[in-house]
Amino acid sequence: MALSELHDRLRFVLVRTSHSGNIGSAARAIRTMGFDRLTLVAPHRFPDPEATALAAGADDVLAQAAIHGDLVSGLAGATFALGLSARRRGVNLPELDPREGAAQAIAAARRGEQVALVFGNERTGLENDELSRCHAMVRIPSVDDFSSLNLSQAVQVVAYELRTAMLADEAQAPAPDVDPDEAPADAEQLERFFAHLGETLDDIEFHKGRSPTTIMLKLRKLFLRARPEPRELRILHGILADAQRMASLAHKGE
């Protein structure tokens, strides 16, 4: 598979970026490694002259950057997402170093999947609800007493590891074509399922005093690990719809 095809399946997603200069620096960082797909989720300010100045010529990356209001739409079409975090969080996700993350990202891209590398806000990083939309967390092993890495530096580290993995993998045989129904469901399809699942749990009064948030986080982890196909989600939607119908009939008979 040509490197250009792999490049097209990898996107860098910057979430709630505060400083527009970091957007430009990140664009420069990925462009030096051969990538050009940049997605911005709710940036504080963009377009901005500072972003253009710090892109240092990577104007094509900025010009074609996709801008979204929320992470769900920013991940549209992606079937494998890795969230970058400087520290361990309350979300129980597999934790990878950048080299392991790059290897998994390239393997997914070779299978024909769309892959997202997700970076959070400069000050707060990714929030737990944003990390919960990722399949694994990548943590750059910086020293404990000075672990703060600039956003564009973190992007550069990951882009370099991806580039290195791609060059090492270039001689591999091409992956076979994948039936769209056999590929994992993308982020939007999963979000629709999680919304339906949450509604159904409410309709059948499942929680009974337990925390809905905790239960949904555990179920998210379960289904993200399972990586269901679209047709499997359709079966699950049908089961949920029947459960809702039976709950409605039971309530009417009370």
Whether 175 is in a domain gets the answer: no
- Give per-10-residue mean pLDDT for the chain (254 aa): 84 97 98 97 96 97 97 96 80 90 95 96 92 94 84 97 89 59 89 96 90 92 94 96 94 79
Identify whether 176 is part of a domain. Answer: no
Whether residue 131 is found in the same domain as residue 165: yes
Q: In the prediction, which pLDDT does 169 show?
A: 76
Q: In which domain, by residue range, is 64 found?
A: 3-170
Torsion sign, CA atoms 181, 182, 186, 188: positive
How many whole angstroms separate alpha carbon 109 and alpha carbon 115? 6
Q: Which amino acid is at 17?
A: T
* pTM listed for this prediction: 0.84
Residues 6+ apart with CB under 8 A from 226: none
Verify that 190 and 127 share a domain, yes or no: no
Which pLDDT score, from 0 to 100, does residue 178 have? 60
Contact between 37 and 8 under an 8 Å Cβ cutoff? The reply is yes
Q: How many domains does the chain have?
A: 2
pLDDT of residue 183: 87
Cα separation, 71 vs 51, whole angstroms: 21
Domain end: 170, 192, 209, which one? 170
Which residue has 């996107």 as its token pair?
11
